[in-house]
A and B are shown apart, each in its own frame.
Chain A
């Protein structure tokens, strides 16, 4: 019975190969967002797309055993809290909300530009898990739409 959940074995195999590189590329886009084109939003959508690919290939049960909707919601909130607390720390240290209070560092180095890396990671958690949770919600909604005509036939 479990064999028939999700798509064909070809899609499952390609998903298994491609998901790791997708997550790594998402992390690369986020971590180098202040040096090269990219940033928190595209990286977060990339992470969400990796999970959505697993959802499409393996079905909702498999992906919810790894990251459930409630866990996604909690990570989403943590991202928002990190962004807000960075702003509040700047307010207490320098007197301005969202102040860049860390050291600037040298240009073209990974650890430069102060708080931008933290903010990028926060936005990634926020956007990625938010879009993934919305997709889970839509998947559940679609199942209801499909099941209703069957009840009428009975």
Chain B
């Protein structure tokens, strides 16, 4: 029962942080409130007794904050105010309403909170130690039972680094050209 109350407090904090992130005009403040939401999420994972995901969430959040602050600290960091069309609000409201209607039907078929249907998980818990030999069942699931998913994740990372290096090479050439042009002009 205490866990539920703490979780609700953390969730309210996260919702407030998300609204501040969207509404605030200063870019750096928005990034910092995104960080607050992320750390609250890792706390929520800790209270739900999922230390693996909590560790990953904290570390990835730190990395994302460093990259985001470094990307936004020197850029013109005030949001541009724009007058929105009247139709955009109504369209957004219609779509949010549709999502709520379908989510009502979808969430009714889910098991209640704290009582998961242990069909696959029970198999991992009973057979995992004998079949894999790892005492951390999360690792045994992501590397043994669901190894294909992890391989796919590695491929996604590989593709992303290839893309970054392609962009980096192009920028370097342009920079080189700019320097040459300056040298010639002086």
Is A142 interfacial (CB 8 A cutoff)?
yes
Stretch at the interface among B79-87, B97-105, B112-120, B161-169: B161-169
18 more A-B residue pairs beyond the given contacts A34-B139, A77-B158, A140-B172, with a C-beta to C-beta distance below 8 A: A29-B55, A34-B136, A35-B134, A42-B55, A42-B56, A42-B59, A76-B161, A83-B151, A107-B133, A108-B135, A113-B139, A114-B132, A119-B147, A130-B161, A134-B164, A135-B66, A137-B165, A138-B70
Contacts of B125 in A (CB 8 A): none
- Tell me the bound Cα distance from A54 to B158 in angstroms: 24
Question: Are A36 and B136 in contact, with the CB atoms below 8 A?
Answer: yes
Is A153 interfacial (CB 8 A cutoff)?
no
Contacts of A151 in B (CB 8 A): 178, 182
Contacts of A100 in B (CB 8 A): 132, 144
Which residues from 107 to 141 on chain A have a C-beta closer than 8 Å to any C-beta of chain B?
107-108, 112-116, 119-120, 123, 126-127, 130-131, 133-135, 137-141
Supposing A37-B138, A107-B135 touch, asked if A126 and B147 sit within 8 A by C-beta, the answer is: no
Count of residues in A whose CB is under 8 Å from the partner chain: 60
Question: Are B157 and A130 in contact, with the CB atoms below 8 A?
Answer: yes
- Interface residues on chain B, size class: 35 or more
How distant is A120 from chain B, measured CB to nearest CB, in Å?
Answer: 7
Question: Are B139 and A33 in contact, with the CB atoms below 8 A?
Answer: yes
Instruction: Determine which of B74, B134, B136, B165 lies in contact with A145 in the assembled complex, contact meaning CB atoms within 8 Å.
Output: B74
- Tell me the bound Cα distance from A72 to B70 in angstroms: 21
- Tell me the bound Cα distance from A36 to B59 in angstroms: 17
- Tell me the bound Cα distance from A33 to B134 in angstroms: 9
How distant is A140 from chain B, measured CB to nearest CB, in Å?
Answer: 6
Which residues does B use to contact A, with CB under 8 Å? 51-52, 55-56, 59-60, 62-63, 66-67, 70-71, 74-75, 129, 132-136, 138-140, 142-144, 147-148, 150-151, 154-155, 157-158, 160-161, 164-165, 167-168, 171-172, 174-175, 178, 182
Is A27 interfacial (CB 8 A cutoff)?
no
Which residues does A use to contact B, with CB under 8 Å? 29, 33-42, 45-46, 48-49, 52, 56, 69, 73, 76-77, 79-80, 83-84, 87, 97-98, 100, 104-105, 107-108, 112-116, 119-120, 123, 126-127, 130-131, 133-135, 137-142, 144-147, 151, 154
Question: Are B59 and A116 in contact, with the CB atoms below 8 A?
Answer: no
- Tell me the bound Cα distance from A120 to B134 in angstroms: 12
Question: Are B134 and A116 in contact, with the CB atoms below 8 A?
Answer: yes
Question: Are A39 and B52 in contact, with the CB atoms below 8 A?
Answer: yes
Contacts of A119 in B (CB 8 A): 143, 147, 150
Question: Are A37 and B55 in contact, with the CB atoms below 8 A?
Answer: yes
- Tell me the bound Cα distance from A145 to B75 in angstroms: 8
Question: Are B157 and A105 in contact, with the CB atoms below 8 A?
Answer: no
- Tell me the bound Cα distance from A142 to B135 in angstroms: 44
Contacts of A35 in B (CB 8 A): 134-136
How distant is A36 from chain B, measured CB to nearest CB, in Å?
Answer: 6
Q: Which 5 A-B pairs have the closest CB atoms?
A: A104-B133, A98-B147, A113-B134, A34-B134, A37-B51
Question: Are A33 and B136 in contact, with the CB atoms below 8 A?
Answer: yes
Contacts of B151 in A (CB 8 A): 83-84, 87, 98
